[in-house]
Structure 1
Amino acid sequence: MRRILIVGAGQAGLQLALGLQAKGYDVTVMANRSAEEIRTGRVMSTQMMFRTALRYERELGLNFWEGLAPRVEGLGVSVAGTAPGVPGVQRPVDWTGRLDGPAQSVDQRVKMAGWLDAFAERGGRVVVHSATVSDLDFLAPRYDLVVVAAGKGEIVSLFGRDPARSPYTAPQRCLALVYVHGLGPHEGHPAGEAARWSLVPGVGELWVIPALTTSGRADILFWEGVPGGPVDAFTGAFGPREHLALTLELLERFVPWEYGRATAVEPTDAGAALAGRYTPVVRDPVGRLPSGGLVLGAGDAVVVNDPLTGQGANCAAKCATSYLASILERGEEPFDAEWMRTAFERYWASARHATRWTNAMLAPQQPHVRALIGAAAGVQPVADRIANGFDDPSDFDDYFFDAARAESYVARAAAAGREA
């Protein structure tokens, strides 16, 4: 029986651990907190899992909350702007794309605590310890493979930045989120319950995501602000109520259509808010320890996308699925550096599309992208296709990045709609 150590108890690490455990591998998970500490701690992220990532969880029998989390059947996009002679912020673009399969968001405090408990109950070893490089140097010879799926801390230094795949060297957004109860309904969904994405040029973006949290049904209000702009204000020791108060001020100022349904909201709990920023990066997947041993990076340890396009948890799930297949196919052969790079490149063949699209959306929008998003308001197939690109970003390669292709696609879609 092959012995594998997985460092990190997030989406990628635990999904991979549970998948390997189900196949009979001897798996140890090293987590920096216990399940109970995760469950009762501060929120760790936003997340919205789309159809493909949810299918991967379902195939492993890990969809514990599928019947409890809100079914997100649509994805709404609004663009803020002004109109001559009309006071205040307007919404010149507003549409909702229908998803081919429902998405869902489960607070990672709920999911990761539940998965960690399940792993232990099924006989897996859990070591609660914040791993250091020296720890891994000591432990690596005792395992056939060490996978580092932790995106923070000293051990991330094992994986060098890949400059060819990392166009940014500084954070492109400041992030501020709060989980709330009491958000009112959004009027006019043609697609049932939907997540909402509001784009405010020059200021940032707001996500509103229906979610399941520790206290039940909730919504996430998540600002992505341009550094140095008006949303870059979540500094200091903000408690959830102070964080929410500032969030609401920004909603009223920049996205009044969302503020109107948020006047009675309250934080879900004492750990409901989080703020921070990080630099998008792709790293070399092979880490070399001081003694010469090798470790394989996974999830956020090697591919970090800004959460602007909601790809983080989805990419982590896809990474775990890809690595699981690579490990199973390896059989009894050694997990050497060549295999590690091959395993990563297999995953990167999918992940590169999410990274390319996210990095493009972080930059000032090109005219053809603005035109494409605007056209979706009048051509439902375009809205639906953009919405489903959140599940499969590779589809954007066909039409999103090139002005001529985008214009041609919209013209074809509009003509087909007129003929239908």
Structure 2
Amino acid sequence: MRRILIVGAGQSGLQLALGLQAKGYDVTVVSNRAPEEIRAGRVMSTQIMFRTALHYERELGLNFWESLAPPALGLGVSVAGNVPGMPGIRRLVDWVGRLDGYAQSVDQRVKMPGWLETFAERGGRLVVHGVTVSDLDFLAPRYDLVLVAAGKGELVSLFARDPARSPYTTPQRSLALAYVHGLGPRPEHPEYDAVRCNLVPGAGELWVIPTLTTSGRADILFWEGVPGGPLDVFQDVEGPGEHLTRTLELLEWFAPWEYGRATAVELTDAGATLAGRYTPAVRDPVGRLPSGSPVLGVADAVVVNDPLTGQGSNSAAKCAASYLASIVERGEEPFDAEWMRGAFERYWATARHVTRWTNAMLAPTAGHVRSLLGAAGGLQPVADRFANGFDDPSDFEDYFFDAAKAEAYVTQVAAAAATRG
């Protein structure tokens, strides 16, 4: 039985560990916190998982909360701006695309402890310890394969930044999120939940995500601010209460259509807020320990995108599924550095589309993209296709990045609509 060590207990690390466990591998997981510590701790992220990522969880029988988490049947986009002669910020664009399969969000404080306990109950070896590079160097000879699925901390230094795939060298957004109870329904679609993305050109974005948290159904209010801009105001916040106050102040000024349903919200718990920033990067997937032993980076450890496009947990799930297939197909052959690079490139064939799209969305919005978003407001097939691109970002290659292709696509859809009408 081949022995595998996974350092990191997030979406990718635990999904991969449970998948390998089901295939008969001897798996050890190292987590820096015990399940009960994670449950009682602070929120760790936003997350919204689309059809493909949810399918990978179902395949492994890990969709424990699917009947409890609110299903998001659509994805909506609003674009804020000023209308000449009218006061305040208004919606210049507003539409909802229907998803081919619903999306769901489960607070990591719910999912990760549950998966950790399941892994241990099924006979997996769980070690609660903060691992250093020297620790890993000591442990590595005892395993056939070592995977680093921790996207933060000292271990990330094992993986050198790949400048050819990493255009940014500084954070592109200031991030601030709050989990809340009491958010009212969107009047445009009160009968169903949808993920909402509000674009404030030049300032940033606001995501509103229905979720399941430790206290039940909730919503995530997630601001992404251009550094130094009017949404970048959370560095000096003192406590969760002030964080929520600033969140709502920004809603009232920059997204009043969302503020109207947020006047009665309250934080879900004392750990329901988070703020920070990080630099998007793609890194060399093979790290070398001081002894020379190779280790393979997983998901955020080697490909970290800004959460602007909601791809973090989706990419983690896809990476885990890809690595699982590569490991099983390797059989009894050694997991050497050459194999590691091949396994990563197999994943990168999917991940590159996420990185290209996310990096494009971080830049000032191109004119043809503004036109595309505007066209979606009057052409439902365009709205639906854009929304489903969050599940399969490779589809954006066919029409999103090139002005001529975007114009041709919209013209084709409009002609078809005119024929039907």
TM-score range, shorter-chain basis?
over 0.9
Checking the alignment, whether the CA contact within 8 Å between 1:74 and 1:191 is kept in structure 2 is no
> Within 2, Cα distance between the matches of 1:134 and 1:419?
67
Corresponding position of 1:291: 291
The Cα shift of 1:166 comes to 0.3
> Within 1, Cα distance between the matches of 2:237 and 2:192?
37
Residue identity opposite 1:242 in structure 2: E
Corresponding position of 1:369: 369
SS in 2 for 1:404: helix
> Within 2, Cα distance between the matches of 1:332 and 1:215?
45
Corresponding position of 2:393: 393
**5+ long unaligned stretches in structure 1:** none
Indicate the larger mover: 184-193 or 136-145: 184-193
Residue identity opposite 2:243 in structure 1: H
The Cα shift of 1:60 comes to 0.3
Map Cα deviations across residues 167-215 of structure 1 (whole Å, 9 max, x no partner).
Answer: 0000000000000000011011298310110000111000000000000
Residue identity opposite 1:148 in structure 2: V
> Within 1, Cα distance between the matches of 2:237 and 2:196?
28
Corresponding position of 2:335: 335
Q: 1:245 to 1:362 in 2, by over 3 A?
A: same
Checking the alignment, whether the CA contact within 8 Å between 1:287 and 1:295 is kept in structure 2 is yes
Corresponding position of 2:63: 63
Q: 1:169 to 1:388 in 2, by over 3 A?
A: same
Map Cα deviations across residues 62-87 of structure 1 (whole Å, 9 max, x no partner).
Answer: 00000000010000100001111111
Corresponding position of 2:15: 15
Counterparts in 2 of 1:225-304, with a 5 A limit? 225-236=225-236, 238-304=238-304
> Within 2, Cα distance between the matches of 1:11 and 1:419?
46
Map Cα deviations across residues 308-366 of structure 1 (whole Å, 9 max, x no partner).
Answer: 00001100000000000000000000000000000000000000000000000000011
Corresponding position of 2:35: 35
Corresponding position of 2:204: 204
SS in 1 for 2:290: coil
SS in 2 for 1:292: coil
The Cα shift of 1:270 comes to 0.6
> Within 2, Cα distance between the matches of 1:191 and 1:158?
49
> Within 2, Cα distance between the matches of 1:419 and 1:173?
43
Aligned residues: 420
> Within 1, Cα distance between the matches of 2:263 and 2:90?
19
Residue identity opposite 2:221 in structure 1: L
The Cα shift of 1:139 comes to 0.3
Residue identity opposite 1:64 in structure 2: F
Q: 1:89 to 1:349 in 2, by over 3 A?
A: same
Checking the alignment, whether the CA contact within 8 Å between 1:4 and 1:27 is kept in structure 2 is yes
SS in 2 for 1:9: coil
SS in 2 for 1:86: coil
Map Cα deviations across residues 218-275 of structure 1 (whole Å, 9 max, x no partner).
Answer: 0000000000011111113532211100000000010000000000000000100000
The Cα shift of 1:133 comes to 0.3
Checking the alignment, whether the CA contact within 8 Å between 2:400 and 2:406 is kept in structure 1 is yes
SS in 1 for 2:136: helix
> Within 1, Cα distance between the matches of 2:17 and 2:207?
31
Residue identity opposite 2:297 in structure 1: G
**TM superposition score normalised by structure 1:** 0.99
Counterparts in 2 of 1:17-416, with a 5 A limit? 17-189=17-189, 192-236=192-236, 238-416=238-416
**5+ long unaligned stretches in structure 2:** none
> Within 2, Cα distance between the matches of 1:274 and 1:76?
24
SS in 2 for 1:296: strand
Residue identity opposite 2:151 in structure 1: G
Checking the alignment, whether the CA contact within 8 Å between 2:71 and 2:103 is kept in structure 1 is yes
Q: 1:191 to 1:372 in 2, by over 3 A?
A: farther
Residue identity opposite 2:394 in structure 1: S
Checking the alignment, whether the CA contact within 8 Å between 1:159 and 1:297 is kept in structure 2 is yes
Checking the alignment, whether the CA contact within 8 Å between 1:96 and 1:191 is kept in structure 2 is no
Percentage identity across aligned positions?
80
Residue identity opposite 1:212 in structure 2: L
> Within 2, Cα distance between the matches of 1:181 and 1:279?
31
> Within 1, Cα distance between the matches of 2:23 and 2:302?
25
Checking the alignment, whether the CA contact within 8 Å between 1:73 and 1:191 is kept in structure 2 is no
> Within 2, Cα distance between the matches of 1:232 and 1:94?
24
Checking the alignment, whether the CA contact within 8 Å between 1:357 and 1:393 is kept in structure 2 is yes
> Within 2, Cα distance between the matches of 1:238 and 1:398?
46
**TM superposition score normalised by structure 2:** 0.99
The Cα shift of 1:299 comes to 1.0
Indicate the larger mover: 205-214 or 192-201: 192-201
> Within 1, Cα distance between the matches of 2:134 and 2:50?
38
SS in 2 for 1:327: helix
> Within 1, Cα distance between the matches of 2:239 and 2:45?
16
Checking the alignment, whether the CA contact within 8 Å between 2:237 and 2:243 is kept in structure 1 is no
Checking the alignment, whether the CA contact within 8 Å between 1:209 and 1:219 is kept in structure 2 is yes
